[in-house]
Amino acid sequence: MGNRQKKQKSILKILFLRTLGSLLLIGIPTILFVYTFELRNITVEGNARYTSEEIKEKIIQTRVDQNALLLYLKHQYFTEIKIPFIEDIDVNLIDNHSVQLIVYEKKVTGCVEFLGEYLYFDKDGIVVESLAERLEDIPQIKGLQFNKIILHERMEVQSNELFDVILNLTQLIDKYDLEIDTISFNSKYEVTVDCGSIRALLGKRSTYDEVLAELKNILVEVDGMKLTLDMRKDSNHIIAKPKDN
């Protein structure tokens, strides 16, 4: 019995020493690695649709992401960004404790409603996102007739020239800081825009710069009113009447 107990103690001692050795060999370097690359500072650039905090929350999701080096390597080689309206995010390692997130957002021109979803497209008419919700800062386009509409492909509509008109309109809308809810085309490709309680008939033009500049001035004067503005002729002949709906 005595020899057996000595042998058991000897085996336990060997196992203990091996375990302790493994902890020293693995545990200490691991602790040093975690401390050396502990993520403390995150800067975000290029974001407009999401706040910096929202971007951080979407990128930092696990304990591994709390390590600056591992976060950098993860997004450099192993992870594909899948965030609505985000094309890509560069994760740059600034120092042992700091990373920089550079956000590249998808350029969205407008959206269309199709089968209960809102499909958001870029200046070339390529559908970049599909959401159940309508984003208020992106104008909804009405009057398009679809031959084909597939996510990540160019929409096929009755006239591809309409995308040039839409791009021109949305650029001018940004230029004049107009809050446009919808841009509508009729069968003659004449344009109507809705700005809250104001509906403006703009007609068909080669450029909409002058008429939208005038609309900007008019909206200040008719704030709170419900009107339909007929601006199809020119800025000197504008007909205003109560809005039907």
Whether 207 and 98 map to the same domain: the answer is no
**Sheet strand arrangement including 98-105:** 41-45, 98-105, 86-95
- SS3 state at 179: coil
For residue 100, pLDDT over 90 is answered with: yes
Q: Tens digits of per-residue pLDDT, 128-166?
A: 999 999 988 899 999 988 888 888 898 888 887 888 899
Residue 20, pLDDT > 50, answer no
- The reply to whether 11 falls in a domain is no
Shared domain for 205 and 99, answered yes or no, is no
CATH of the domain at 96: 3.10.20
Which residues lie closer than 8 Å to 130 by C-beta, 6 or more apart?
Answer: 117, 118, 119, 120, 151
Asked if 48 and 120 sit in the same domain, the reply is no
**One-letter amino acid of 11:** I
CATH for 226: 3.40.50
Are 120 and 217 members of one domain? yes
Query: Given this model, what pLDDT does residue 88 score?
Result: 92
Inform me whether the pLDDT recorded for 16 exceeds 70: no
Residues 72 and 98 in one domain: yes
Mean pLDDT value across the chain: 84
Distance from C-alpha of 198 to C-alpha of 226, rounded to nearest angstrom:
6
Beta bridge partners of 234: 237
60 & 152 share domain: no
Q: Residues 64, 169: one domain?
A: no
pLDDT mean over 201-220: 91
Mean pLDDT throughout 200-204? 93
Alpha-carbon distance of 29 to 19, in angstroms, equals 15
Q: What is the mean pLDDT of residues 209-232?
A: 89
Q: Which of 82, 105, 128 is the last residue in one of the domains?
A: 105
Question: Is pLDDT larger for residue 50 or for residue 243?
Answer: 50
**Distance between CA atoms of residues 106 and 76, nearest Å:** 20
Compute the distance between CA of residue 154 and CA of residue 160 in angstroms, rounded to an integer.
10
| Residues comprising the chain, all counted | 245
Q: Is the dihedral of CA 57, 61, 65, 66 positive or negative?
A: positive
Does residue 237 sit in the same domain as residue 130? yes
pTM above 0.75?
no
Q: What share of the chain is helix, strand, coil (3-state, %, to 5)?
A: 35, 30, 35
Counting the structural domains of the chain, the total is 2
Residue 56: the pLDDT is: 94
Residue 213 within a domain: yes
C-alpha 125/C-alpha 159 separation (Å) is 11
Average pLDDT of span 194-201: 92
Distance, CA of 23 to chain centre: 45
- pLDDT tens-place string over residues 28-79: 666 665 667 888 999 999 999 899 999 999 999 888 888 888 888 888 888 8
Residues 114 and 225 in one domain: yes
pLDDT at 147: 83
The pLDDT > 90 percentage for the chain reads 41
Cβ(99)–Cβ(68) below 8 Å: yes
Q: Give the range of the structural domain holding residue 129, as residue numbers without chain letter.
A: 110-242
Cα–Cα distance, 120 to 140 (Å, whole number): 9
Does some domain include residue 23?
no
User: Residues 229, 201: contact at Cβ < 8 Å?
Assistant: yes
